[in-house]
Structure 1
Amino acid sequence: MSKTVKDLTAGTAGGICQVLVGQPFDIVKVRMQTSAKGTYTGMLDCAGGILKNEGPLAFYKGTATPLLGIGVCVSIQFGALEYAKRFFASQNAARGQDSGRLSRSQLFSAGVFAGLANSVVSGPVEHIRIRLQTQSNTSPLYSGPLDAVKKIYAQRGIAGIYKGQVATLYREASGYGIYFLAYEELVQREMAKKGIRRDQINPLNAVLYGAAAGYALWAVIYPIDMIKSRMQTDGFSVETGKKYKSTWDCVRTVWRTEGISAFTRGLGPTLIRSPFANGATFLGFELAMRALDKL
């Protein structure tokens, strides 16, 4: 099996783990991000409202899209990351340097590359997911992911599918640069300190390193993620109309009308979700890679 196929397969395993663990937290985050100020008193109020009004299965509303889409996204992330790491390792070897340990700038650049590659799929996948997560439960606009894609494409073409893509590009490039830098630095440090191979690292450490990387990710991207969510739900229905002319207009409008607190609304469920979802992602990836290496 080629290295690229292994990377993509292991990335898919990591993505599926991420969705199954993180989806309930994600829907609470999105509801809080996109709701009007004062709609919820906090994370528990939002989660309680969803449970009371829509039932427990509502926490997995729109899961089909991320289960398939995020699986592909994380597959692309890790495929692009590992490709970039091999590229930089070959450059280091050509210079007579240690090819087994990449510099921080190289790890960050590999993460940026992974994020940009991922954004081609993650933008529309998250757009459709957010549409399904925030639509009315009593009179939904879309019956499911495919229906949403068909209706959005019929109304606005490919630009409608990629709504909010500018914010997505900013988020993925900056976020995944930090994300993979943090994780790979921790992994490489343990390997160098203990003189061990990557497949000898304790799986529990992969979870802990993934959790740390997740916190680093969200510390950088949360305000950008909020703007992305606002852009992707803008013009959701005829009744609400379109509020924002562009990404920067969205930033200015939110700042002016809701203040700085709007940029961190919904951060609570994200911080709770992050260590579990990201720990599961890297654990799934590392264990899948070990299993594939034995084939």
Structure 2
Amino acid sequence: MAPQSRGKNETATPTPAKEGTTSIKGFVGGLASGLTKVAVGQPFDIIKTRLQCSPVGTYRGPLDCLGQIAKREGLLSLYKGSSPPAVGWAFADSVLMGSLHTYRLTLSRWYGYGEGTGKRLPTQLHALAGLGAGVTNSLVMTPIETLKSKLQMQTQRTTIHIPGRGRVETVKREFSGPIDCIMQTVRQQGVLGLWKTLPITMIFRANFAVMFGGYDFFQRQFEKLKGTKYELGSGISTFLSGGLAAEFFWLAALPADTVKNRMMADSLYNPRYPTIRIAFLSVWNEKGPNASTIRRMQSFYKGCSVALLRAFPTNAAALFAFETAMHLMGAEKTTTK
């Protein structure tokens, strides 16, 4: 979600007078934001993950994937794997935004920007703060996304007609739910198995440099419209800046996301992608040994249209939920993802 619009000479959210009370209210606002992200974005996310991780030819595209899920597993299965992010996103958002705020303040002190200096933190330092926040946030998000991916990729107990074989088979779920998924992961790989994909998650989330650098860049462009007939209100400017930054984030991050999701959704008992290199090569060689570089790159952008469609409404809705919750609690507005 995009950060809240700031004044010209501000580098980050001002420190509230009542730190403890505001922190609690910020957590509640983060919970509202996280639940909204899940409610709006989860159906898009499960389709994206299925397209990225399923064998070639399983789905003809996003609509075919949606149709197969609805037919075989029911529409409610579009929210499969939603409980881990629903539970964990409030804490994860607090880590992301808290660390982003800290990095911004640190960079402001180092380079002499901020309140009282008459100088605004430049876009490249906003991007650097976003990179640091994304890497820090990976410590929280790795186990959450691991559980989400494994639950999203399993097929609900259902009956499937097997063409040419004239019979119906029952496909059983590998995990009964998030707790069972955790137990099996820990039993098979140890507690650190929940953080097995931390390196690739850090690579993926380092792209928050694009998100927060992009947000600041677009805010500055919209500020140039002040005094003209194209001037935008602060709310519209925040909405558009956050949505556009999210689109560029996914364009930059999707290759790492594809590799990450393959590793996260991999079998606990017969893993195919034990390392980043093997997972990367599985995507790179998916179109065959004689495929052109362009066709190879296309494999890393499976689910791109879904990711881009998801990014704008999900971030806009989550921002609205966060600001509404903070307003109802009478809390000072802060930045949000």
TM-score calculated relative to the size of structure 2: 0.77
Give the aligned partner of residue 186 of structure 2. 153
How many correspondences in the alignment? 285
Which residue of the other structure, out of 69, 74, 85, is the alignment partner of 1:50?
69
Question: Take 2:175 and 2:68, find their aligned partners in 1: how far apart are those partners?
Answer: 21
Work out whether 1:187 is the aligned partner of 2:219.
Answer: yes
Shift of 1:204: 3.4
Shift of 1:67: 0.8
Question: Take 1:34 and 1:71, find their aligned partners in 2: how far apart are those partners?
Answer: 27
Question: Take 1:277 and 1:234, find their aligned partners in 2: how far apart are those partners?
Answer: 27
Q: Is 2:114–2:121's contact at 8 Å kept on the other side of the alignment?
A: no
Give the aligned partner of residue 217 of structure 1. 249
Which residue of the other structure, out of 260, 265, 270, is the alignment partner of 2:302?
265
Work out whether 1:70 is the aligned partner of 2:89.
Answer: yes
Q: Is 2:286–2:299's contact at 8 Å kept on the other side of the alignment?
A: no
For residues 128-143 of structure 1, the aligned pairs below 5 Å read 128-138=147-157, 139-143=172-176
Question: Take 2:134 and 2:66, find their aligned partners in 1: how far apart are those partners?
Answer: 30
Question: Take 1:22 and 1:220, find their aligned partners in 2: how far apart are those partners?
Answer: 19
Give the aligned partner of residue 284 of structure 1. 321
For residues 1-295 of structure 1, the aligned pairs below 5 Å read 1-2=18-19, 5=23, 8-91=27-110, 92-93=112-113, 97-99=117-119, 101-138=120-157, 139-173=172-206, 175-187=207-219, 190=222, 194=226, 202-236=234-268, 238=269, 241-258=270-287, 259-289=296-326, 291-293=330-332
Change (3 A) 1:231 1:251: same
Q: Is 2:263–2:273's contact at 8 Å kept on the other side of the alignment?
A: yes
Aligned-residue CA RMSD in angstroms?
Answer: 2.6
Q: Is 2:36–2:321's contact at 8 Å kept on the other side of the alignment?
A: yes
Question: Take 1:242 and 1:188, find their aligned partners in 2: how far apart are those partners?
Answer: 47
Q: Is 2:123–2:213's contact at 8 Å kept on the other side of the alignment?
A: yes
Q: What amino acid does structure 2 have at the position aligned with 1:86? A: L
Change (3 A) 1:27 1:55: same
TM-score calculated relative to the size of structure 1: 0.87
Deviates more, 1:182-191 or 1:55-64: 182-191
**Bigger Rg over Cα:** 2
| Offset from partner CA, 1:244-269 (integer Å, 9 cap, x none) | 34101211232123333321111121
Q: What amino acid does structure 1 have at the position aligned with 2:19? A: S
Q: Is 1:8–1:76's contact at 8 Å kept on the other side of the alignment?
A: no
Q: Is 1:116–1:172's contact at 8 Å kept on the other side of the alignment?
A: yes
Q: Is 1:186–1:209's contact at 8 Å kept on the other side of the alignment?
A: yes
Deviates more, 1:103-112 or 1:183-192: 183-192
Question: Take 1:257 and 1:192, find their aligned partners in 2: how far apart are those partners?
Answer: 46
Deviates more, 1:223-232 or 1:11-20: 11-20
Question: Take 1:98 and 1:83, find their aligned partners in 2: how far apart are those partners?
Answer: 20
Shift of 1:234: 1.9
Q: What amino acid does structure 2 have at the position aligned with 1:71? A: A
| Offset from partner CA, 1:212-242 (integer Å, 9 cap, x none) | 0110110111010000011112224x4xx22
Question: Take 1:183 and 1:264, find their aligned partners in 2: how far apart are those partners?
Answer: 23
| Offset from partner CA, 1:47-81 (integer Å, 9 cap, x none) | 01111111111111111111112222222211111
Q: What amino acid does structure 2 have at the position aligned with 1:153? A: V
Q: Which has the higher helix share?
A: 1
State the identity as a percent. 32
Gaps in structure 2 of 5+ consecutive residues? 1-17, 158-171, 288-295
Matched residue SS, 1:234: coil
Question: Take 1:26 and 1:128, find their aligned partners in 2: how far apart are those partners?
Answer: 14
Q: What amino acid does structure 1 have at the position aligned with 2:129? A: A
Shift of 1:7: 5.1
